Chain A
């Protein structure tokens, strides 16, 4: 049994540590601090913690003001509300003026499983990815979460940080070198490249194991930075394998799959298949939902077989 740590716990801890190191960090919360775990920062630094109640539009607008003042605001709520209710000031203030705000959208994908489709985020990446100036990061495990929080605090500019609610298996170790914009190749195989983002990366790795059993060798790549995307690692993997499957807990329209296909259609047209949302999901156990809606390792294996059939040679 692999060790699992909830991404939100890793995030809360990382934010607290950042607050100790950097007095410029302020944290804004919209009444879900016990869920996002921003409360850990709030307890230690009450003067730099602003809970604005249930008003995401105002939280995002306020963060722009803090950034104008030279602070580094981390703002927190569920990804689905951040990118719908907070969308206007995110685009017209933060992105337009390239303000140094870190936008943490948590409970991404289907991870808020029991709360149902109203609380699950399957459109956030496509929105934030289309906004000029925005960097988009989606983390896959607790270590990557901690490293990403440190890295985005160092980077001067707006960042959307996509976080899962789920307890995620630890994939990386403390020596993991996280660099914004650099993809990570976790496995090399000549038959297919599975390109994944977020905690669902773990299922991609499990799928690669299942594929090995039937003689299919898979490359697995973690794209934690969806924008700017690491074109080189994607092109190289496509050239090496000749077939690509993208895996994300997000709509197949506008997310990682779209980003990868934009790169490949331009530089290296390659047969692709997409694992992701085609419809709203529902309430239920997280792993059961992932199975039902086609995100499980077996579903990924099926997509791999489909794309391999599309190879011309």
Chain B
């Protein structure tokens, strides 16, 4: 990745963080913590790695993105609007009556959303079905599934992990938003996941680690994943929940809390300081 490109993507991520705070403050609902931690991951996918066409969202052979940690969708919607899937002015309708932007991703309402998600743990199995479907069609498309690290406490994740290994879907690339925090506390407090990489390796997966807030590190990891011959890949992206807003960072309380007026001012001042 060239320095210029890296700078462009970094600026885009900064803009998305800024817009996210404005958006979630304006609607007084939604999940800031997990949206901020996945900013660089989603942006790298949508603006650097995925073969997608917002003008033709159902194009055959396109790469697929599944936001299995569906609650982080405000960041996904910001990316999709920027990409051109729908008008940016519609973002303010998020979570409001009659909007096509639901509180959790909804495939039958929002163009470009591949799968409805929200109940945690269902995205990996569905992604596996898509990966096998693409293989039946002799397509070289990749299926990307963004997982939360709290989400992988769901048993369905491990059922899918087992099966993905059996079916040798090298076109299935899971990315773990490894922010270490879930709704009620840290993973260590609530349900320690131990060595996640070793767990997936034991399930027969190709495991890659990266810095989840460095677009180049994410991009390199994805390109390494694409080289896998007969294994699904999980990219364990080290992230910080609430990344970019100091008082939100690492705090489980910011999983899904509305942003107050004072907090909004603080957050904006911090973001302006970055510019």
Residues of A bordering B, CB below 8 Å: 26, 47-48, 50, 52-53, 55, 57-58, 60-71, 73, 88-89, 92-93, 96-98
Contacts and interface: CB of A to CB of B under 8 A. Distances in A.
A47 B136 CA distance: 8
A70 B60 CA distance: 11
Binding site secondary structure of chain B: helix
Nearest to B156: A57
Interface of B: 64, 106-108, 114-116, 118-119, 121-122, 124-134, 136-137, 155-156, 159-160, 162-163, 166-167
Contact of B127 (A65, A71, A73): A65
A69 B107 contact: no
A65 B128 contact: yes
Contact of B163 (A48, A52, A63, A69): A52
Given A61-B125, A61-B160, A65-B129, A71 B136 contact: yes
A97 B159 CA distance: 22
A89 B136 contact: no
Nearest to B137: A69
A19 B252 CA distance: 50
Contact of B160 (A58, A70, A98): A58
Contacts of A70: 133
Given A48-B136, A55-B163, A88 B129 contact: no
B159 A57 contact: yes
Contact of B129 (A53, A55, A61): A61
A65 B126 contact: yes
A61 B133 contact: no
A50 B167 contact: yes
A88 B166 CA distance: 23
A62 B136 contact: no
Given A53-B163, A58-B156, A98 B108 contact: yes
A92 B116 contact: yes
Contact of B133 (A47, A66, A92, A98): A66
A147 to B, nearest CB: 28
A278 to B, nearest CB: 32
A41 to B, nearest CB: 15
Given A47-B136, A55-B163, A69-B130, A62 B116 contact: no
